A = this chain, B = another copy of it.
């Protein structure tokens, strides 16, 4: 016994308060009355205060007793939360779901899936890291996230993956930019002379899916939002996920470039996880729900589904 204060004492205190007497508490707890009496004496002794006024027929909670009762309820509720958590983990639910999502992935879609997930697992804490390029993978590798959603090509590795969807990419440029006025398909040679806005990142994992650097003149940006600002301002061209620029295309602020080669391509978005930490119930549900949404709600994004 490390400490004289025990949860059972608090549970008994609560039973007494709820049932109104030691005897009744004993009946509720399937204990004899003397056990309740002794437990309450022990609690009063460890706390060093009187919890009950025993002058009447049934003991009445003192002011101090009422205050302690409140704390006791909190603690016992906490203990029940702990058990509930353990129970959900026992049935293969992640203790908490940490996602690393590429900024290219349609966020609206993810939010809807997470809303459903929150309904199914109300106790589950969820963390979402939105990362550019290699950032998401980094989080899977260093175990700060469990499930990655980003562009990835299967490889011999510690990481396992499954294909989720292809996100349509297209080269775009501001309407005011010279490239916008070029008639007919644009050759690689023309493109090479123009400024390309490229995403960069702190890690070296990158470049594979950054869309391919074509131009000789490069501006680099660390995040998608900033690059979009420069794109809209006409600093150069770049490949963008269609779902992100569709409103700008519709409004005429951006123009889609027609290229002579590599006319259209897709980011192969995968769900990635460490082989040692496969998705469990909550993760699986999220993946399945995302897949359903990707097939049935194409309005969110011009994506190709698995």
Contacts and interface: CB of A to CB of B under 8 A. Distances in A.
Interface of A: 1-3, 5-8, 10-12, 29, 31, 47-49, 63-64, 66-68, 71-72, 74-75, 78-79, 81-83, 85-87, 89-90, 94-96, 277
A127 to B, nearest CB: 13
Contact of A8 (B1, B11, B31, B71): B1
B48 A87 contact: yes
Contact of A64 (B71, B74, B83, B86): B86
Contacts of A68: 82, 85-86, 89, 95
A47 B1 contact: no
Contact of A78 (B66, B74, B83, B90): B74
18 contacts: A3-B79, A5-B83, A6-B6, A6-B8, A10-B82, A47-B87, A48-B86, A49-B86, A49-B89, A49-B90, A63-B94, A63-B95, A67-B89, A67-B95, A68-B82, A71-B78, A71-B82, A75-B78
A47 B78 CA distance: 14
- What DSSP secondary structure best describes chain A's contact surface? helix
Contacts of A3: 7-8, 11, 79
Nearest to A86: B47
A5 B71 contact: no
A12 B3 CA distance: 11
A78 B74 CA distance: 8
Contacts of A86: 47-49, 64, 68
Contacts of A2: 8, 11-12, 29, 31
Contact of A85 (B10, B31, B67, B89): B67
Contacts of A71: 78, 81-82, 85
B5 A79 contact: yes
Contacts of A79: 3, 5, 75
